[in-house]
Amino acid sequence: MKVLFVTTAYKRFDGDVITPWLVELILRLKKKGVEVVVFTSSYKGLRNQIIDGVRIERFRYFLKKFEDLTHEETVVDRLKRSPIYLLLIITYLIAGTLKMIKLVKREHFDIIHIHWPFPHIVFGLFGRYAGRARLFSTFYGVEIRWIKKKFPFLVPLFSLAINKSDVITAISSHTAGELSTVAKTKIEIIPFSTPITERSGKTTDAKQIIFVGRLVERKGVKYLIEAFARIKDEVKHNLVIIGEGPERKALEEQVKVLHLEKRVTFTGRISDRELHRSYEKCSFLVLPAVYDKKGDIEGLGVVLIEAMSYRKPVIASRAGGITDIVEDGKNGFLVPPGDAAKLAGAMKTLANDDKLRSEMGGNAKKSIDEKFNWDRIVDRLIELYEKNHIRRRYE
């Protein structure tokens, strides 16, 4: 079976950290005999590549100097900075559509699988009719909220387009719920899991509370720092903030104002090996996600899956797709988003109870093995591929 993955961005070189869970999914599909080709945009002149044995078909959409609509930042953030990106969106859609038609006429694909269907459903529809493939659309959440908030007049047209899909999937029940207002067909919930594969099985407890993620508004790190300031004299733990992003300077200033320099560490971006060690030795992870100004929230929360796979309990916001992962009081705690007082209380409870951390950690590992097992995820996706491939043969 031959599948074309259509995505906004994809890794440009070995070690590139873009959509690591998507890379992991593709590699696991490949191991099970599915041939996957990636269709994505160029980045500053980048052309077709082969990385990890996966062929990447990139389309050029402007002059090399200006081809930065994707990859380093979201399109939404780019648009805020310069109106030239509106022009790039138009050339992006035209160039992508033309290359899609050319590609599917040249090669046979059984499935065209669209990720982030706004606006990539355009490529999918042209590819479906030009190449007679089945069309899958997978939603992560943010694209639904963005179109409803920024382009409400496009919602009816978008709804019409995505309902041309043969299969629609969502990464969480929360995303499926948001999608249900525009999708008329059954929505299959297929999450992703952690791309981290290196685990020794040995864990320690170095009295560290960790956050892992991009330092942006929707991660809610400022509430984590505020919560830690409330309990710093009542716990032995230090706080380690792992990640990089535009909010870092403001967060470092917040730490200074609260006189937490000796208890809070910013590591910046770290290697996979260092991240592995951080998960091994932390006491627990906190993901204090909030809705940002764009209305964005965690579609799932892969760092929660990662930490829990190391037998570590977690504390996170009761929002978005997080509730598909964290069972309050069983494998971690859920708190209201943006509530530093409730967050502080949960952190204090978990930090000062070794037995509770151990019990929740065991439950965390068990729940990840049951719900977010890669083999189950990949097998379910292949099952849907094969079912639709067989149906197509008889049409």
Instruction: Summarize pLDDT for 227-264 with one digit per residue, the tens.
Output: 999 999 999 999 999 999 999 999 999 999 999 999 99
CATH 3.40.50.2000 residue spans of the chain: 2-193+373-393, 208-371
Question: Over pLDDT 70: what percentage of the chain?
Answer: 97
Q: What is the mean pLDDT of residues 152-158?
A: 90
CATH among 3.40.50.2000, 3.90.400.10, 3.90.220.20, 3.30.365.10 for 2-193+373-393? 3.40.50.2000
pLDDT reported for residue 394: 45
pLDDT reported for residue 148: 82
- Decide which of 359 and 293 is more confident: 359
In CATH, the number for domain 208-371 is: 3.40.50.2000
CA distance 226 to 232: 10
